[in-house]
Amino acid sequence: MLHDVNAGVAVVGCGSAAPAVCLDNEALSQMVETSDEWISSRTGIRKRRLASSEDSLRSLSVQACQNALAMAGVEAADVDLILLATSTPDDLFGTASRIQFELGATKAVAFDLTAACSGFVFGLVTASQFIRTGAYKTVLLIGADVLSRWTDWSDRRTCVLFGDGAGAVVLQATEGSDRLLGFELRSDGSLNSSLNLAFQGETRSLVDGKTVTQGNFQPITMNGQEIYRFAVRRVPEVIEKALFRADRTVEQVDWLLLHQANQRILDAVGDRLSIPSHKIISNMAEYGNTSAASIPLALDEWVRTGKIQSGDTIAAAGFGAGLTWGAVIFQWGR
């Protein structure tokens, strides 16, 4: 059913969830040759949450959604669309529909969206198009990942980085001013090998010379230096382009909300944009890199602690595997 075409978009609620199990740097140093000082000085990460056998991407996502719906004052039955941004679904065929069922969002269509650490930003832009065209009025967007499933815990270059979690936001059509001000999305497949969670298979003969390839996905591999150089060069550019489209200046940004990958990247992007450190949102010290969950996890914390106020202008940017990157400028609240 079509609603008003050219409706505005507002982000009216947020929620998050993280597993109870916490692995700090000291405990990690008992597994691989590293130390709290080495990890924290190079990444800014001190702890990460890990999904236990009792947790799932679905259970974390449902909890985050329930918290977001409660803040927004929206019933699950009134949600029209559920988007799940993830690279680590419980089921490769998709997990969003199971979340829809468990929430009781009986009229919502649900599907997964994969853009790795950029997933939440890509999802925010995707959700806004459904609202602006009048297709849907209320959208639930989830960013969630359980990277511990695909981390090589013997590789000290990568195992120090990743954690598990989920975050969600409620977007609604508004007849007033449009709160999603501008965006810019980019992809570059030539750099795909810099960060992978790749399928590896072996040839299996079936009959009469016909073969298939069967196997499994392998643990995460990453060229950290290449990703750092990519992020500090491309992320400021994409934020500036999004600000141009939003007709806003850097000085009008209240909060810089980047994918929580590495504190050095956050600091470098802030420096290049001349955004002071007190405007840069960071909680990676407690959660590590949670991929598509990192931006909504940090957003939820800053909103619930009263730091982000209604009407604040947020420049959010994601970047990661693909490689993909993008930025969206929006104002918080109705």
Which of the four pLDDT bands, split at 50, 70 and 90, describes residue 4?
A: low
- DSSP SS3 for 123: helix
Nearest to residue 117, comparing CAs of 322, 301, 284?
322
Contact 311, 331 (CB under 8 A): yes
Tens-digit pLDDT profile for residues 224-274: 899 999 999 999 999 999 999 999 999 999 999 999 999 999 999 999 999
Q: Distance between CA 84 and CA 87 in Å, rounded?
A: 10
Is 67 labeled as catalytic in the residue annotation? Answer: no
Is 259 labeled as catalytic in the residue annotation? Answer: yes
- Is residue 266 assigned to a domain? yes
- Kindly report the pTM of this predicted structure: 0.95
Task: Give residue 129's domain range.
Answer: 8-178
Structure tokens at 192: 């795909």
CATH assignment of the domain containing 37: 3.40.47.10
Catalytic residue, from 65, 117, 159, 262: name it: 117
| b/e code 31-62 from CB counts within 10 Å (16+ = b) | eeebebeebbeebbbbbbbbbeeebbbbbbbb
Q: Does residue 144 sit in the same domain as residue 281?
A: no
Domain count, the chain: 2
User: In the prediction, which pLDDT does 1 show?
Assistant: 47
Q: Distance between CA 168 and CA 297 in Å, rounded?
A: 8
Mean pLDDT of 126-150: 97
Catalytic residue, from 14, 65, 159, 259: name it: 259
Q: Does residue 87 sit in the same domain as residue 231?
A: no
Nearest to residue 333, comparing CAs of 182, 185, 183, 177?
177
> Half-sphere exposure of 10 toward its Cβ, with a 13 Å CA cutoff?
14
Q: Does residue 118 sit in the same domain as residue 36?
A: yes
Is 159 labeled as catalytic in the residue annotation? Answer: no
Mean pLDDT of 23-29: 96
Q: Does residue 225 sit in the same domain as residue 163?
A: no
DSSP 177: -
Which of the four pLDDT bands, split at 50, 70 and 90, describes residue 160?
A: very high
